[in-house]
């Protein structure tokens, strides 16, 4: 087959890879930029982002945006200033994609179709002159003299002076994220910070049948497909609005978030469930005890809630329709006045000793021990990755190997839900592409 020569090779045709290709080709003007993508089509993971609606960025300014980046926000700063969220909106607009900004400064394509984002990114890369080669599963990388040689499973080989690794993480392996990038980074001498799932479901004790985490899957990992218990069935499908979710690790409050929470077939999810999952997963992997505490009435102090519930209880007890009913029935009537009807069975199963006197505290302090978490099969993002200490923030070039750049999820940067992860991928990819091209 012979070796195909290029100026720059990008491995991975996801969010960071497509932006790296666009940035590199725009800067090189006439040089050869090749993207090697293992899947039949680029951008597979983007297609499932936000349940297919694709919240592709968040338009908060850097001082607010940076608070959602882990573990070292300042590493992202040069990338973000080179291609900010606002610039990304303009960039996609130039490619003919209209967008809308919704609650929480989250930007979506106007069509709410993720395919429009993918089409715009592919168009940007190809218009700039990059070639996207699909079905190219990379099997090995070597560096000889000043060239990187990349071999593929189909027998083809490619050679270039600059290499950008944008292979994503381990999450949603069906989209092509198999963690190969970490293997190659290691083989090329880089350290990989411990990897773990983030933005994932956390699983309360007793939520799933035999939900003791299987040791061979890693500490705390519970397969999403594990069947629900009666408690899980009773809670699944409930969406809680404007509640607080606190996380207690080894007896100390580690995080508290306000917003919306979903009970799903995975466990506790939704915006605030995802937000606390990073700390939860990390703690469980390290053998810590984790508890979730839900405050159903965060806007009301316990004393005021107690007065309110006592008043409601007196009304129920004096009502002619319910006065003669057994305590259990009257208490259920009280519950319908403070909780959604669909939540009551699950709430009662997890608070079996609650009565009208204990109800205020139970509503403000609904505790659940966390048994585990859903793993890479359905997490949104992989935390950990290529050590930031070994990369130059202004170029994303390796400090160990000249001409080697990394971008996107493969590096040790991850973010909260809300458009921050995709923007991080776009910004790092674009800067890596431009920097690789400029160095030529």
Is 202:379 a contact under the CB 8 Å cutoff? no
| E-assigned strand segments in 347-439 | 366-373, 381-386, 404-406, 414-415
In the numeric block, the tokens 């000249």 are attached to: 402
User: Residue 323 contacts by C-beta under 8 Å, 6 or more apart in sequence?
Assistant: 317
| pLDDT one-digit tens code per residue, 217-242 | 557 899 999 999 999 999 999 999 99
Q: What is the pTM of this model?
A: 0.93
Query: What is the DSSP secondary structure assignment for residue 147, as one 8-state letter?
Result: E
| pLDDT one-digit tens code per residue, 231-283 | 999 999 999 999 999 999 999 999 999 999 999 999 999 999 999 999 999 99
Answer whether residue 215 shows pLDDT above 50: no
Cα 432 to Cα 17, 119, 196, 335, 403, distances in angstroms: 9, 21, 25, 56, 10
Using CA atoms, how far apart are residues 53 and 116, in angstroms rounded to an integer? 10
| pLDDT one-digit tens code per residue, 313-348 | 999 998 888 888 999 999 999 999 999 999 999 999
Phi, psi (rounded to 5 degrees) for 342: -70, -20
- Which pLDDT does position 322 carry in this prediction? 82
DSSP β-bridge partners for residue 237: none
CB burial of 78-109 (b: ≥16 within 10 Å; e: otherwise) equals bbbebbbbebbbebbeebebebeeeeebbbbb
User: Residue 174 contacts by C-beta under 8 Å, 6 or more apart in sequence?
Assistant: none
| pLDDT one-digit tens code per residue, 30-46 | 899 999 999 999 999 99
- Which pLDDT does position 211 carry in this prediction? 59
| pLDDT one-digit tens code per residue, 366-386 | 999 999 999 998 899 999 999
- Which pLDDT does position 218 carry in this prediction? 58
Enter the tokens of residue 388. Answer: 């930031």
Which residue intervals of 199-256 are DSSP H helices? 230-235
- Which pLDDT does position 212 carry in this prediction? 56
In the numeric block, the tokens 């007196």 are attached to: 314
SS3 of residue 202 by DSSP: strand
CATH superfamily of 3-196+383-438: FAD/NAD(P)-binding domain (3.50.50.60)
Using CA atoms, how far apart are residues 269 and 227, in angstroms rounded to an integer? 17
| pLDDT band with cut points at 50, 70 and 90 for residue 216 | very low
| E-assigned strand segments in 6-54 | 8-11, 33-37
| pLDDT one-digit tens code per residue, 178-210 | 899 999 999 999 999 999 999 999 999 999 997
| pLDDT one-digit tens code per residue, 339-355 | 999 999 999 999 999 99
- Which pLDDT does position 284 carry in this prediction? 95
User: Residue 430 contacts by C-beta under 8 Å, 6 or more apart in sequence?
Assistant: 19, 20, 22, 23, 79, 82, 83
Query: What is the DSSP secondary structure assignment for residue 47, as one 8-state letter?
Result: H
| pLDDT one-digit tens code per residue, 20-79 | 999 999 999 889 999 999 999 999 999 988 778 999 999 999 999 999 999 999 999 999
More confident residue, 212 or 77: 77
pLDDT over 70, % of the chain: 98
| pLDDT one-digit tens code per residue, 147-186 | 999 999 999 999 999 999 999 999 887 777 789 999 999 9
Beta strands at 162-165 and 239-249: parallel, antiparallel or unpaired:
unpaired
| pLDDT band with cut points at 50, 70 and 90 for residue 15 | very high
Give the residue from 423, 437, 345, 431 showing the smallest Cα distance to 85: 423
| pLDDT band with cut points at 50, 70 and 90 for residue 91 | very high
Domain ranges of the chain: 3-196+383-438, 200-379
- Which pLDDT does position 1 carry in this prediction? 59
Which residue intervals of 48-195 are DSSP H helices? 62-65, 73-82, 85-94, 114-128, 180-187
């Amino acid at each position: 087959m012979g070796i195909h020569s290029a100026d720059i090779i990008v491995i991975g045709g996801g969010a960071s890879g497509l932006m790296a290709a666009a940035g590199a080709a725009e800067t090189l003007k006439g040089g050869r930029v090749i993207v090697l993508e293992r899947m039949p089509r680029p951008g597979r993971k983007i297609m499932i982002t936000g349940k297919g609606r694709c919240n592709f960025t968040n338009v908060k300014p850097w001082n607010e945006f940076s608070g959602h980046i882990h573990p070292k926000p300042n590493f992202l700063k040069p990338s973000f200033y080179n291609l900010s969220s606002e610039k990304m909106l303009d960039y996609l607009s130039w490619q003919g994609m209209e967008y809308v900004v919704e609650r929480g400064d989250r930007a979506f394509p106007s069509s709410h179709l993720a395919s429009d984002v993918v089409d715009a990114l592919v168009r940007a890369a190809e218009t700039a002159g990059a070639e996207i080669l699909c079905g190219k599963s990379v099997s090995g990388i070597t560096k000889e003299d000043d060239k990187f040689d990349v071999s593929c499973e189909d027998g083809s080989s490619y050679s270039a002076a600059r290499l950008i690794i944008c292979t994503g993480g381990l999450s949603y392996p069906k989209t092509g994220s198999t963690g190969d990038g970490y293997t190659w980074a290691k083989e090329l001498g880089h350290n990989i910070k411990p990897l773990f799932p983030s933005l994932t479901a956390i699983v309360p004790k007793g939520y799933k049948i035999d939900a003791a985490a299987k040791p061979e899957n890693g500490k705390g990992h519970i397969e999403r497909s594990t069947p629900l218990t009666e408690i899980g069935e009773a809670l699944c499908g409930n969406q809680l609005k404007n509640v607080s979710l606190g996380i207690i690790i080894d007896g100390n409050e580690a995080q508290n978030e306000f917003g919306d929470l979903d009970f799903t077939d995975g466990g506790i999810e939704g915006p605030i469930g995802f937000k606390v999952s990073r700390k939860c997963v990390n703690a469980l992997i390290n053998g810590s005890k984790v508890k979730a505490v839900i405050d159903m009435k965060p806007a009301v102090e316990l004393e005021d809630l107690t007065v309110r519930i006592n008043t409601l209880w007196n009304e129920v007890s004096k009502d002619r329709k319910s006065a003669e009913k057994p305590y259990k029935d009257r208490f259920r009537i009280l519950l319908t006045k403070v909780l959604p009807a669909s939540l009551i069975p699950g709430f009662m199963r997890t608070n079996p000793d609650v009565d009208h006197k204990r109800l205020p505290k139970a509503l403000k302090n609904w505790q659940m021990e966390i048994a585990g978490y859903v793993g890479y099969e359905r997490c949104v993002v992989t935390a950990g990755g290529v050590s930031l200490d070994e990369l130059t923030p202004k170029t994303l070039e390796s400090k160990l190997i000249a001409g080697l750049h990394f971008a996107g999820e493969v590096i040790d940067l991850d973010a909260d839900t809300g458009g921050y992860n995709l923007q991080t991928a776009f910004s790092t990819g674009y800067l890596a592409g431009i920097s690789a091209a400029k160095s030529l």
